[in-house]
Structure 1
Amino acid sequence: MTPCLNAVAMRNTKYQQYYNRTVIEVHYRLAKNLSQEELELRKHSEAGLSSLSVFFVIICSIIILENLLVLIAVFRNKKFHSAMFFFIGNLAFSDLLAGSAYIANIFLSGSHTFRLVPVQWFIREGTAFIALAASVFSLLAIAIERYIAITKVKVYGSNKTCRMFVLIGTCWLMSVVLGGLPIMGWNCMEALHECSAVLPLYSTRYIFFVVTIFSIILLSIVVLYVRIYLIVRSSHQEAASSPAYALLKTVTIVLGVFIVCWLPAFTVLLLDTSCGMASCPVLSLADVFFGFATLNSALNPLIYTLRSKDMRREFLRVLCCWGVLRCGQAAHPCMLPLKSTSSMEQCTNKHEQQAMPIMQDCTTCV
């Protein structure tokens, strides 16, 4: 048999293992350093949720509801039908999927894990990776859009829509590719010594690659927002004015929450690439760190939308129209016009009106 045919045969054999349920048992026992008795205990444990899992299910439900509210607000109000709000809507959609994927992950974990075949396991983990990656890439897309809008004003009006779709499309394409690499073949099913202790069918090289990508994204967001702040500050004569510092406050909140939520998960994943379960018992708490990282999806709507008075008013309008809130007829939020803007939006408007006339229609600063 020729080398090419040998490679094809080996690959076909590998993909056939995607439907072998015993593969998961073998990988979990070796990667997590379990004895046969411990493995059997996990397989036959009660299917009920722990208190921690119930807590994360509640958090994910909140994530779904608040991001659904953002999407409805953007869809209902034509004032929000602009490029920047579409990016916020894209972020909300990715966060909504992240919450949904994490709930599914919780209900398919524990003893249910050993009832899955590898292809189902890859879909379970890959969906969560795609959703969380889309959320992170959306943050980067927003930073890129803001930076281009400020520094490339001459082309902003002509290709704004095209750039918006390119950035959003690239965000999801990269997320699907990144989350789908393991099921496409980059896994450790033929190299048990390379398996992750946290995600036993994933290769540690793939884990290191993902952490590297997210670290580059974090650095890029930091650089872009620092540049945005410096440009905005240099365009104001009163550099120490409250709008300028309001912008700095928002940027600090965004970066701070991103780092606080993701740093523990990144740290655990980095440990996973160089440390086994026996020598690094902290890896057994990886689910807690991943759950904490998911909180970023709950905080994103607060950071990117609730600092806008217009968005807050639209939230109230939607909640009142749904009957969730009791609103007086004289000041019914469904009937209130959206006129005023937040200090953050005034900061952006003032900057753009002075230096960038083409962008006077933009009313959001992130």
Structure 2
Amino acid sequence: MEAFNASTSSKAASYQSNSVLQLHYNYTGKLDEDRYMDGLKPGNICFLFICLLIVVENCVVLVAIWRNKKFHMPMYYLLGNLTLSDLLAGFTYMLNIVLSGRNTLTLTPLLWFLREGGVFFTLAASVISLLAIAVERYATILNMKTHRRTKCNRILALIVASWALSLLLGVLPVLGWNCLRCLSWCSTVLPLYAKSYIFFCVFMFMTVLLAIVLLYGRIFHFVKSNTQNPARNQHKGFSRRSQKYMVLLKTVTVVVGVFILCWMPLFVLLLLDFVCPVKSCPVLFKADYFLGVAMINSLINPVIYTLTSRDMRRAIVKLLFQRCLMTREGRMRKIAAAFPQCSFTKMEANPRGMETSISSGNATTVHVKPIYPKLRVSVVS
């Protein structure tokens, strides 16, 4: 019992000892460079700016989903969950950069674990969110008559499970899966992490991505085969739903493809870290550039939503430029002609108590109420 208490006390002390962190960095050869002697470099400042853009972009997408009732449906809940993980990734990247360089050597192992664990946590949240979207799409496409309540319960379960698993993965090193007691097990890229933990994370991420690719392959095959079936095509409801699913699938498939392109270089680097003996692979000391490429993924995702989803594009333009496109009386300004893809279909209340529904198109119906409830104006543009 006394030996156990002594071991626990020693382990707790190592989590708070800055000298332990410096010992690990020195062992892996990272202290041989001058990067831990200087403050933020121009490259780090550039990465900070990218992180700020990541936070702003994903905030805009989240607000657009929240304010537009058209997006209050299960599929967009999962898309919003993915956006939230990207937003949090921007914050964690920012903290990681601010606390890197010279500040790294002032951290305790516990703070270091929290710094790096945040990145693994948000990365896991993004990957598992992509898997949750694939699972939900696969379950929906197999049974298009799923009740909304059952579907919402399934979405909620997927979201809760994704964050729970991500949190567990991020805190595993703090719970003991680290190399504080054995330097020979340590990673070069992340000197306090055990190589086995890093290999486990990369293996899990690759397995999840493979499962996503297989699920989307099954979905595309199912939709394509049923769309080409003459008996199925006679049902307009099925055809419309299939087209809608295909549009959403294309959007999410592009997101998955970009994720793989951005993160694969870092995954390969971490696998190289697993097999390379200490100080034998110089490329491992350039991990910041690989992480920078991975960061671009969270920056590109909101752009993908905007370019591939017409409804999302309308919602974002409306959110950002509504005051420029609409007058106080609820009429469209002339500048709105520059946004032919935009449609304002939500009832907008103006200060005079009038609600206007405005839509662009060849034959547009404009409703004005409640002062003139019977007035119905057709505008041909």
Report the identity percentage. 46
| Secondary structure of residue in 2 paired with 1:186 | coil
Residues in 2 aligned to 1:122 and 1:79: alpha-carbon distance in whole angstroms: 41
Q: Distance in 2 between matches of 1:84 and 1:306?
A: 18
2:259 & 2:292 partners in 1: Cα distance? 14
The structure with the greater share of residues assigned to strand is 2
1:178-189 to 2 correspondence within 5 Å? 178-189=169-180
Q: Distance in 2 between matches of 1:228 and 1:29?
A: 50
Match of 1:88 in 2: 79
What does the per-residue CA deviation read over 1:274-296, in whole Å, with 9 as the maximum and x for residues that have no partner? 11352211111111111211211
Q: Tell me, yes or no, if the aligned pair for 1:53 and 1:106 is still in contact at 8 Å.
A: yes
User: Segments of 4+ in structure 1 off by > 4 A?
Assistant: 243-252, 332-335
- Which of 17, 20, 41 is the matching residue for 2:17? 20
> In structure 1, the residue corresponding to 2:317 is in which secondary structure?
helix
- Tell me: CA distance 1:245–1:68, structure 2 relative to 1, closer, same or farther (3 Å): closer
1:187–1:201 CA contact under 8 A, matched in 2: yes
Cα gap change, 1:88/1:9 in structure 2, threshold over 3 Å: closer, same or farther? same
**Distance in 1 between residues matched to 2:200 and 2:137, nearest whole Å:** 27
How many residue pairs get aligned? The number is 328
Listed as ranges, the matches of 1:308-327 within 5 Å are: 308-321=309-322, 326-327=324-325
Between the aligned partners of 2:87 and 2:58, the Cα distance in structure 1 is 6
What is the rounded CA distance, in whole Å, between the counterparts of 1:335 and 1:232 in structure 2? 29
Alignment of 1:196-345 (within 5 A): 196-237=187-228, 250=251, 253-321=254-322, 326-327=324-325, 329=327, 330-331=331-332, 336-337=344-345
Q: How far does residue 171 in structure 1 lie from its aligned partner after superposition? A: 0.5
The residue number in structure 2 matching 1:32 is 29
Cα offset, 1:253, TM superposition? 2.5
**TM-score, normalization by structure 2:** 0.79
After the TM superposition, which of the residue ranges 155-164 and 189-198 deviates more from structure 2? Answer: 155-164
1:354 aligns with: none
Matched, 1:136 2:127: yes
Q: Which amino acid aligns with 2:23?
A: V
Alignment of 1:158-173 (within 5 A): 158-173=149-164
Report the CA distance between 1:238 and its aligned residue: 7.8
Partner SS state of residue 325, structure 2 = coil
Report the Cα distance in structure 1 between the residues aligned to 2:252 and 2:116, rounded to whole angstroms.
31
1:173/1:305 Cα in 2 relative to 1: closer, same or farther (>3 Å)?
Answer: farther
Query: Which residue number in structure 2 is paired with residue 352 of structure 1?
Result: none
Structure 2 matches for 1:93-172, cutoff 5 A? Answer: 93-172=84-163
**What is the identity, as a one-letter code, of the residue corresponding to 1:115?**
T
For the residue of structure 2 that corresponds to 1:147, the secondary structure is helix
Quote the offset at 1:9 in angstroms.
Answer: 2.9
- Residue 46 (str. 1) matches residue 38 (str. 2): yes
Residues 245 and 131 from structure 1, CA distance in 2 versus in 1: closer, same or farther, beyond 3 angstroms? closer
Which whole-Å CA distance do the structure 1 matches of 2:184 and 2:254 have between them?
Answer: 41
Q: Secondary structure at the match of 1:331?
A: coil
Partner SS, residue 202 of structure 1: coil
Which TM-score applies when normalising by structure 1? 0.82
- For 2:192 and 2:97, how far apart are their aligned partners in 1? 17
Q: Is the 8 A contact 2:306 2:316 kept in 1?
A: no
**Counterpart code for 1:327:** L
Show CA shifts across 1:8-30 (max 9, x none): 53233112211111111100000
Deviation of residue 139 (structure 1)? 1.0
Q: 1:60 to 1:97 in 2, by over 3 A?
A: same
Give the whole-Å Cα distance in 2 for the aligned partners of 1:313 and 1:265. 35
- Higher helix content, 1 or 2: 1
**Once the 2 structures are TM-superposed, how far is the Cα of residue 212 of structure 1 from its aligned partner?**
0.6
Give the partner amino acid of 2:274. Answer: T
TM-fit CA distance, 1:320: 1.8
Q: Is 1:95–1:131's contact at 8 Å kept on the other side of the alignment?
A: yes
Equivalent residue for 1:348?
none
Structure 2 unaligned regions, length at least 5: 231-238, 337-341, 347-357, 360-381
Asked if the contact 1:229–1:247 (Cα under 8 Å) also holds between the matched residues in 2, the reply is no
- Cα-Cα RMSD: 2.7
Any gaps of 5 or more consecutive residues in structure 1? 341-366
Distance 1:156 1:297, change over 3 A: farther
- Paired with 2:307 and 2:6, the residues of 1 have a C-alpha distance of 55
Work out whether residues 137 and 217 of structure 1, in 8 Å CA contact, stay in contact via their aligned partners in 2. Answer: yes
Higher relative contact order (CA 8 A, sep 6+): 1
The 1:161–1:92 alpha-carbon spacing in structure 2 relative to 1, beyond 3 Å, is same
Report the counterpart of residue 10 of structure 1 in structure 2. Answer: 7
Task: Output the CA distance in 2 between the equivalents of 1:115 and 1:64.
Answer: 27
